[in-house]
Copies of this chain bind each other. A is one copy, B any other.
Amino acid sequence: MMDIMTSETTTFPASTAAADAMVAEARFNADGLLACIAQQHDTGEVLMMAWMNEDALRETLRTGRVCYWSRSRGKLWRKGESSGQEQHLKDLRLDCDGDTVLALVDQTGVACHTGRRSCFYKAPRGEVLANITEPEIAPEDLYGR
């Protein structure tokens, strides 16, 4: 079994040839997007899921900093550019059918716009959907600067 804590990673920037090969094997959806899951490389926490178009994928591979495509803003979203909470890339792995990538990252601070480490915090507990983690940073301290 592969263990995320010990599995090999690589260094970035990736070569142009490897980036071209990943773009060629990627299957972007009808909107031209791939799903991207961000996971903290050493603890294994799943931090967030967002989207990449080809430009975002190429920029991520070239710079080693995760860049998404913001569907709401309709532009490239360099994670951390407004919040300071950057994602430094340790590995980028395309899945078997080419429509999703897993980014192993070193997350500065928190990933979630609510100030939580991870976006995945609402879970069934008894009779309710509970918030199972609390914000570590106030959102106004992330975006109010």
What residues make up the interface of A, taking CB atoms closer than 8 Å to B? Answer: 1-5, 7-8, 10, 14-15, 17-19, 21-22, 25, 35, 37, 39, 43-46, 48-49, 61, 91-97, 100-102, 112-114, 116-129, 132-133
User: A17's closest neighbor in chain B, by CB?
Assistant: B127
- Asked if B4 and A124 sit within 8 Å, CB to CB, the answer is no
Quickly give the copy total for this chain. Answer: 2
In Å, the complex CA distance between A120 and B46 comes to 14
- Asked if B5 and A124 sit within 8 Å, CB to CB, the answer is no
In Å, the complex CA distance between A102 and B25 comes to 25
A-B contact pairs, 14 of them (CB 8 A): A2-B45, A4-B44, A7-B132, A10-B123, A17-B127, A18-B124, A37-B46, A49-B95, A91-B123, A92-B123, A96-B119, A100-B119, A100-B120, A101-B120
